[in-house]
Chains A and B, each alone.
Chain A
């Protein structure tokens, strides 16, 4: 089975500072990887995804992630944090279930942005 590990359940950065949220995956097949964001009392919104092709993926709100097969990582970055980025971030891997597919999520990283 595939799995995702998110290092750091809580990350705090200053406004304007670099955001780095870590994600490592375990997969026996080439993975499809996703980052979702969840604001308080809301559902999940897709930030970006990697399926095939270019390993540096750009998403919404200035976020990007780089797929590194050798490191089994898919870390999320943003050059300059904004107060509105405060939310919970989930990394996920697509797993095939025979007749269908599902997302397997990490436990999430709560991002706090301070003035």
Chain B
């Protein structure tokens, strides 16, 4: 079975632009989470979606938004890009919320560079 897939793998944007990152979860997984990993740091939680509803939001500005589609894939949108948005964006999927015991499986990430 295919794992979590993300597209694109790499992206270069300039300040002020908008970006859309995409994630397809493992087949049958209904929960998708997004994390930002700045170079040299651990991943930071951005959003969690389950059954197309937002179930959690991290400490990120409103420039960050996301949605989940009926097929459980997800998009992360970032508006008005800043240099500090340069990072590896990771998507993780899990079967369900299930009280937190569910393992989150991570995709390879999208590396975003903002110039």
Contacts and interface: CB of A to CB of B under 8 A. Distances in A.
Interface string A75-103: 00000000000000010101011111111
B90 interface: yes
A98 B48 CA distance: 12
Given A43-B109, A97-B55, A51 B42 contact: no
Interface in B26-50: 31, 33, 35, 40-45, 48, 50
Contact of B43 (A44, A46, A49): A44
Interface in A25-44: 32, 34, 36, 42-44
Interface residues of B, number: 29
B56 A101 contact: yes
B107 interface: yes
Interface of A: 4, 32, 34, 36, 42-46, 49, 51, 90, 92, 94, 96-108
B42 A102 contact: no
Contact of B33 (A90, A99, A102, A105): A102
Contacts of B103: 34, 46, 49
A102 B48 CA distance: 7
A44 B56 contact: no
A108 B45 contact: no
Contacts of B63: none
A101 B100 contact: yes
A43 B41 contact: no
Interface in B101-115: 101, 103-109
B97 interface: yes
A99 B56 contact: yes
B100 A42 contact: no
B53 to A, nearest CB: 8
A8 to B, nearest CB: 14
A43 B56 contact: no
